[in-house]
Amino acid sequence: MGLNAQDLKNIASALSALARALADWGNTHPITDPTQQAQFDDFVSSLVQASDSLMNAAVTAALANVAVSAADLQNATDRARHTLKVINDVTTALKIAGAAVALGTSLLSPAPSTVSGALNGLVQAVQPASPAPTGS
């Protein structure tokens, strides 16, 4: 049975903790023999090397596992964009309806300034609903 992401991470953490403990020991127990010191350094760095490789393997395995959840969140975000568009469309429609009512009532009035003011209101309300001109 193979190791899963959590197992790999646990071993990586254990090796890192062991390397740390050895470095702490070396800090309080100075080694005077250069050969012994080199062997000790090699041992610590080998533990770090192994810890790093296993953690990379753990992250790679976990990344594959989380792909489905990440895709779900991406879909949720896409749907949210659609929801935002619907709400914005409804908001624009309400603004147009309000402006249309204003225009309708102003048409009862003989004053041209009132009509032109209401017409401008309608044009302004319709503008956000119109598609933006595409590039050249």
Partner 1 sequence: MMSRPMSSNPRSGPRHERKNRKAYQFPQASSQVSIIVTILLLTITSLSCVDLTQITQFAKSSQDVGNTFKALSSDTAAVCGSAATFFPPGQAPLNCDRYVQLQPALAKVNDVLFAYIASLGKIACIAPPKDAFTNVGAELKQADASISQADQNNAKAAGGLADALSKIILSGYQRHELARMIHESNSSVQAVVSFLSGYAAAQSELLLNNTWTLEEEYCNSNRNQLGAAEPLAAKLLAQKCDDDKARINTKVAAVEQYQKALATIAATHDILDKKRNSLTKKELLHDIGPQTSSLSAAALAMQKALQ
In angstroms, the CA 79 to CA 4 distance is 33
Strand ranges, E, within 3-67: none
Orientation angle between helical segments 112-126 and 34-106, nearest 10 degrees: 150
User: Which residues ranging from 70 to 129 are in contact with partner 1 (CB under 8 A)?
Assistant: 70, 72-74, 76-77, 79-81, 83-84, 86-88, 90-91, 94-95, 97-98, 101-102, 105-109, 111, 114, 118
In angstroms, the CA 136 to CA 131 distance is 15
Strand, helix or coil for residue 110: coil
Site residues for partner 1 per CB under 8 A: 5, 9, 12-13, 16, 19-20, 22-23, 26-27, 30-32, 34, 37-38, 40-42, 44-46, 48-49, 51-53, 55-56, 58-60, 62-63, 65-66, 69-70, 72-74, 76-77, 79-81, 83-84, 86-88, 90-91, 94-95, 97-98, 101-102, 105-109, 111, 114, 118
